[in-house]
Amino acid sequence: MAGRIDCFKAYDVRGRVPDQLNEDVAYRIGRAFASWRQARSIAVGHDIRLTSPALCSAAIEGIRDAGSDAVHIGQCGTEEIYFATFHGGHDGGLVVTASHNPKDFNGMKFVREGARPVSGDAGLPEIQALAEAGFGAPAARRGELRQAPDKRAYIDHLLSYIDPAALRPLRVVVNAGNGGAGPVVDLLEPHLPLEFIKLQHQPDGHFPNGVPNPLLEENRQVTADAVRAQGADLGIAWDGDFDRCFFFDEQGEFVEGYYVVGLLAEAFLRKHGSGAIVHDPRLIWNTRDIVARLGGRAVQSRTGHAFIKQVMRDHDALYGGEMSAHHYFRDFAYCDSGMIPWLLVVELLSQRGQPLSALLAERQRAYPVSGEINREVADPAAAIAAAEARYAALGGAVDRTDGVGISFADWRFNLRMSNTEPLVRLNVETRGDPELLAARTAELLALLDGRT
């Protein structure tokens, strides 16, 4: 068993089944991961995809042949593997999932001890090399398999972030996509004074509702319509492995992820009084304003989970947020969760006594944004360099934490290259000036399009 494996990506494994990822490949990856970790035990689970149980079983066989024990938590979300790994004291965690990819894809995500990240900069190349090289005889001691489907400790941990008794009896639309998040919502429900209106709730690996990605416009409408029709206070939708959650206000309007970072920063600083809050560099002013006003300390990090998690550890940060709907929590081993955010938002709504739209409107007026705009360009690096040269010459302060950010007194922008496509990603924000926002966004797009 040796040969090239071409489903390793920047942060995880992702490929089409069965030509890129199959049970043989899953076995090799599982065995390589356990060997690389020299693990005593590894927590393992899988998402709702039809191919996931078999791929997970194959990975478990590889783990056991490497001499490591496998603790199988069953069908789960990615964050449940994070929790199982740090809570159970395992040497690593592996979840079979392809998140929001099409149903003929699958993949794997990995963590080290303490749910520390494994990525293209730290671990994935070594795992790939071991898997491709092949193996000799199994280890002298074959690892054991233990089933551990009980989710009570995980549910208790989620509830520890809030005071359930302080919640108002809100009506909440929950859209689990094709049901990945559904079982966890059901387990939380008896502990919360909330009325859930459940959409696409039952796990179904046939993906009858399409690709589980709430960022797609066509996937948002069903949640928005249900919020309006049911007179709900809030709408929540998750991606396939529910490590991201997305919000809709009581009017059914989709909430830009940037403003959720500010809400969660507020939630934590109100609880703790002070502490570090980590944010990505794409849009920053709203988050920094909230953090400063509540006595916290804002820390900027390069975009990407491995970078955010490390910066959080370096600063012992309470919370870290990316506008892409990844939210990270110190007490969750600095990992991202799609369950903790909505619990905190529900608690914040209960405390403030205002609808979500009112809380957001104040921040949206103070710091309007363009939303992330993707542009295909022939030479992304040259396009970013041209923008930097033009606006730096006008006196803008340059920040190269991630791509290039340039700030003026009343507006700023960030430009980044895609890692996988000939795209640049543009974000623009102003200090309370929507007309300036529109003008500067149009100006930058004209530059990127070669019209100026």
Q: Which residues are catalytic?
A: 99
If you search the block for the tokens 């990822």, which residue do you land on? 21
Report which of 3, 1, 10 is spatially closest to residue 125, judged by C-alpha positions.
10
Contact 431, 406 (CB under 8 A): no
Distances (CA, A) of 213 to 109, 180, 203: 18, 12, 15
CA distance 286 to 277: 13
If you search the block for the tokens 């071991």, which residue do you land on? 130
CA distance 387 to 440: 12
Angle, helix 434-448 to helix 380-393, in steps of 10 degrees: 130
